[in-house]
């Protein structure tokens, strides 16, 4: 009986250690130079425009911003990308106002290109 009680008491303590370790890891990650996280990227490396920094930091929580910047999409497609990040990759859904700001920047900075680079439809008569 005694041993069981000790075991039961030990479990929350272990959880606390795990949580503390996770928090420490997060703090250490945040303290790393930007280069270690996203290969020397900074918001300034990308086209200037309103909401650039917010967009940069919203998207680089998980991957480099180059991955974003190499796309060219219209607003609807960017919106779908965000939905995909949320539904498939666990991105916390941005508030409507923040989402609009992010879309404002993405649409302005990386608009749909005339020649799609990623297997998009290419009009054979347009060449
Ligand atoms: C919660 C994590 C997370 C966040 C935040 C996030 N993404 Fe992603 N994103 C991923 C993962 C995972 C992939 C696929 C793996 C990879 O290539 O790194 C990906 C891939 C992509 C791709 C490439 C898709 C393709 O088909 O190749 C684009 C574009 C993209 N993300 C845009 C964005 C934009 C824009 C934002 C910010 C508004 C964002 N992501 C924020 C996790 C995230």
Ligand 1 atom nearest the C-alpha of 102 is 38
Is the C-beta atom of 68 inside 6 A of ligand 1?
Answer: yes
Residue 56 neighbours by CB distance under 10 Å: 21
Is the C-beta atom of 84 inside 6 A of ligand 1?
Answer: no
**H helix or E strand, kind and range, residue 22:** helix 2-31
Q: Over the stretch 28-51, which tens digit does the pLDDT of each residue have?
A: 556 554 444 556 899 999 999 999
Is the C-beta atom of 103 inside 6 A of ligand 1?
Answer: no
Ligand 1 atom nearest the C-alpha of 106 is 35
Q: Please report, for the chain, the start and end positions of each structural domain, with discontinuous segments joined by +.
A: 1-31, 35-116
pLDDT of residue 49: 97
Contact call for residues 37 and 63 (beta carbons, < 8 A): no
Q: What is the pTM of this model?
A: 0.70
Contact call for residues 55 and 103 (beta carbons, < 8 A): no
Q: How far does Cα 114 stand from its chain's mean position?
A: 26
Contact call for residues 41 and 64 (beta carbons, < 8 A): yes
């Amino acid at each position: 009986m005694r041993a069981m009680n000790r075991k039961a008491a030990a479990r929350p303590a272990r959880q606390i250690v795990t949580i503390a370790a996770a928090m420490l890891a997060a703090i250490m990650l945040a303290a790393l130079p930007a280069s270690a996280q996203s290969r020397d990227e900074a918001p300034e490396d990308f086209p200037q425009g309103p909401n650039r920094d917010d967009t940069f930091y919203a998207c680089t929580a998980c991957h480099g911003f180059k991955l974003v910047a190499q796309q060219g999409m219209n607003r609807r497609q960017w919106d779908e990308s965000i939905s995909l990040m949320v539904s498939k990759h666990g991105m916390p859904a941005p508030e409507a106002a923040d989402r609009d700001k992010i879309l404002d920047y993405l649409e302005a900075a990386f608009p749909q290109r005339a020649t799609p680079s990623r297997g998009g439809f290419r009009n054979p008569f347009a060449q």
